[in-house]
């Protein structure tokens, strides 16, 4: 079974997707980490960032180096949303993601899983939350000022939603879940229940 979890930054995708995967015994795929790794490769002057070797496991490796922490830096977040608008980068990463998901049980998290990577996924979830709530969560994680995080988030949201190639939007048959007033456990339980109903 493949479960697609899409939505904007800060809607709770990573925490929720990881927990759903752990509960069901599925493999978790963080596609944002792949865009981040390509962005980091570019910032470091890699001659072909989209062709760099990215390994996802317990952490993230770029050409063999552990970059799990490095890819979360603010300049990498910014650059990731720039490289994610590049069709050549998207083509390369989508092909890798589709190859990975060809067999086995997956919970894949991103922006285009339900629309592009796995439009035939058995379950598609689109997580949303209000912008100030999303910024508050991100700021708490990073120890940053929520007002600044919200401003930067708005710029990235706009870029992710307005880009021509695979803009962020829900698949027509995605279940939309607003996480604003819900706990992580409540969101996870709802998605796990939906998945078990399909079994």
Binding site for ligand DC (CB under 6 A): 9, 31-32, 35-36, 80-81, 84, 110-112, 156, 160
Q: How far is the CB of 80 from ligand DC (least distance, A)?
A: 4
CB nearer to ligand DC: give 51 or 196. Answer: 51
Q: How far is the CB of 13 from ligand DC (least distance, A)?
A: 7
- How many Cα atoms are found within 13 Å in the side-chain-facing hemisphere of 83? 26
Contacts with 42 (C-beta within 8 Å, 6 or more apart), sequence order = 49, 79, 83
Q: How far is the CB of 103 from ligand DC (least distance, A)?
A: 20
CB nearer to ligand DC: give 6 or 195. Answer: 6
Residues 132 and 180: beta-carbon distance below 8 Å = no
Q: Which residues pair with 127 in a beta bridge?
A: 177
Q: Which residues pair with 55 in a beta bridge?
A: 61
CB nearer to ligand DC: give 78 or 178. Answer: 78
CB nearer to ligand DC: give 22 or 155. Answer: 155
What are the angstrom distances between the C-alpha of 160 and each of 7, 36, 89, 96, 112?
10, 14, 14, 20, 10
Q: How far is the CB of 32 from ligand DC (least distance, A)?
A: 2
């Amino acid at each position: 079974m493949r479960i697609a979890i899409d939505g904007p930054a800060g809607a709770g995708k990573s925490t929720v997707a990881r927990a759903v995967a752990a509960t069901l015994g599925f493999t978790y795929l963080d596609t944002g980490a792949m865009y981040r790794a390509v962005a980091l490769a570019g910032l470091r002057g890699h001659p072909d960032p989209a062709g760099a070797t990215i390994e996802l496991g317990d952490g993230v490796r770029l050409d063999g180096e552990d970059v799990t922490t490095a890819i979360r830096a603010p300049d990498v977040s910014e650059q990731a949303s720039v490289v994610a608008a590049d069709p050549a980068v998207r083509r390369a990463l989508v092909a890798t993601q589709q190859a990975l998901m060809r067999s086995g049980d997956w919970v894949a998290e991103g922006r285009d899983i339900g629309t592009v990577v796995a439009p035939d996924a058995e379950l598609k979830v689109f997580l949303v939350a209000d912008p100030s709530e999303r910024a508050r969560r991100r700021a708490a994680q990073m120890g940053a000022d929520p007002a600044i995080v919200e401003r930067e988030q708005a710029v990235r949201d706009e870029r992710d939603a307005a880009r021509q190639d695979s803009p962020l939007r829900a698949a027509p048959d995605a279940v939309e879940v607003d996480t604003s007033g819900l706990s992580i456990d409540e969101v996870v339980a709802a998605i796990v229940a939906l998945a078990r109903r399909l079994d």
